[in-house]
Amino acid sequence: MKVLFCGDIVGRSGRDAVLQRIPMLRQKLDLDFVFANAENAAGGFGITPAIAREFYEVGIDCLTTGNHVWDQREIIGHIGGDPRLLRPANYPKGTPGKGIGTYTTRKGKPVVVVNVMTRLFMDPLDDPFQALEAAMAQHRLGPSAAAILIDVHGEATSEKQALGHLVDGRASLVVGSHSHVPTADARVMAGGTGYQTDAGMCGDYDSIIGMKKDVATQRFVRKMPGERLTPAEGEGTLCAIYAELDDATGLATRVAPVRLGGKLAETMPA
């Protein structure tokens, strides 16, 4: 099985980078499943039902989120009725939506996606380690789950790595989101789980994590609130993680970064 995860989609530049390239990538890489973190897709803050539909129409099978999931108020009443839109599984009981979804590829294979959010330097949610263990207790690689794919949305690289090692050998792919900067540690871990600490963002890298650089810089310089942060509007880079999974075990045999367009050096799996 071949899967692709697109990092945080930020604003119009990020949406354009994804919408324009996903159909091509599905065909060129012969992808079976595509998921993406879309919590910054609507003007840098949250996601709307209309934007989610655009992503589904070009071939994204599932959308994950994180700490900005509720920034667009209309999503609160929508998320419970959209099985392809996840919020972190470790939100408190009673929060709208769900953090785990089961989907079927075009070849009829069941795929489980889990979305969790870390706690270091983030919101004080329920324990992501317990939430991930609970998810793994419900879903095991085998006939009922040809692949288990996990988006770990968080700030601290150490916490993301710990969650990856926690499920090594039990999940197909663990990939981080939130920092908007791609890390260089794509690999298959000792137990066979594909891993990268952060996929990076889909957005304009002539920016500060996707936002217009002048406004963001002044917040650091002046230490005062100022103009509202808005997404940078230059050409976006699509940053993603590509993984090949063994059909017999569901574990990863290959993990490689994908970067297309914009300011970063391009790379595609050979």
Whether 268 maps to a domain, the answer reads no
Whether 267 maps to a domain, the answer reads no
Measured between alpha carbons, how far is 101 from 99 in angstroms, rounded to an integer?
A: 7
Whether 72 maps to a domain, the answer reads yes
Q: Say if residue 226's pLDDT is above 80.
A: no
Whether 270 maps to a domain, the answer reads no
DSSP 3-state percent helix, strand, coil across the chain (nearest 5)? 25, 30, 50
Return the closest-CA partner of residue 121 out of 75, 179, 35. Answer: 179
Whether 58 maps to a domain, the answer reads yes
Domain boundaries, position 62: 2-260
CATH of the domain at 213: 3.60.21.10
pLDDT digits (tens, 9 = 90+) for 129-178: 999 999 999 999 998 899 999 999 999 999 999 999 999 999 999 999 99
- Which entry of 68, 139, 153, 178 is annotated as an active-site residue? 68
pLDDT digits (tens, 9 = 90+) for 183-217: 999 999 999 999 999 999 999 999 999 999 998 99
139 in active site: no
Tell me the one-letter amino acid at 89.
A
Whether 266 maps to a domain, the answer reads no
- Pair 25, 4: CB distance under 8 Å: yes
Number of domains in the chain: 1
Whether 133 maps to a domain, the answer reads yes
Count other Cβ atoms within 10 Å, centred on residue 53.
11
What mean pLDDT is predicted for residues 67-93? 97
